Chains A and B, each alone.
Chain A
């Protein structure tokens, strides 16, 4: 059973606007949450992370929000750029494991 879920397989956003990618999880023991970005024919690359004891972490255009009571996190990209077009994976860590979600394909159009 999928412990980390990304219910939107795709998202299309206009350049300059905000992109919001969502992720839900079921395991309350996860202690860190991470976002990875993947371009075709490449391995995923790390984007940003957040500890389970925090509710927000910001790095430039990227902000991750964590709502533990709802078991939900989101990644905000502002402003979105064409180079942000990729597949974004939410991931969670627990007892040495790094568990990934199903991914959301983001397309940023001009």
Chain B
């Protein structure tokens, strides 16, 4: 039982490069979320999805795009990476909404130089 899997676990990007972070869940959950964790800032919501084919903006969406073409996958894209996007990124899923237990992946440590 894999739960929530994030790929890759580590990545170093140069300023201006693009990349996609993949989140996959095998629990048939409807809701999926992307967060970033920065020192002193806690976890901040970037984008979220309430079901296949849907996406919505969170607290800090600028510079990121997302897609949920398949229910089990939620992709986070950085079109032109900036040093301010250096962070640890977490994906999470929950069965029916944010009031139910959310399951997190192990995180992706991204460094933009």
Q: How many contacts between A and B, using CB within 8 angstroms?
A: 72
B92 touches A43 (CB 8 A): yes
A43 touches B97 (CB 8 A): no
Contacts of B56 in A (CB 8 A): 96
B102 touches A98 (CB 8 A): yes
A59 to chain B, nearest CB (A): 12
Which B residues, 84 to 101, have Cβ-Cβ distances below 8 Å to chain A?
90, 92, 94, 97-99, 101
A32 interface residue, CB < 8 Å from B?
yes
Chain B 58-74 interface 0/1 with A at a Cβ cutoff of 8 Å (1 = within): 11000000000000000
Given contacts A41-B106, A89-B43, contact A100 B35 (CB under 8 A): yes
Given contacts A43-B107, A45-B104, contact A93 B43 (CB under 8 A): no
- Looking at chain B, what size class is its interface with the partner chain? 20 to 34
Which B residues, 31 to 55, have Cβ-Cβ distances below 8 Å to chain A?
31, 33, 35, 40-45, 48, 50
A89 touches B92 (CB 8 A): no
Identity of the chain A residue whose Cβ is nearest the Cβ of B33 in the assembled complex: A98
Contacts of A41 in B (CB 8 A): 106-107
User: Which 4 residue pairs across A and B have the least CB separation, nearest first?
Assistant: A43-B104, A98-B98, A93-B98, A32-B99
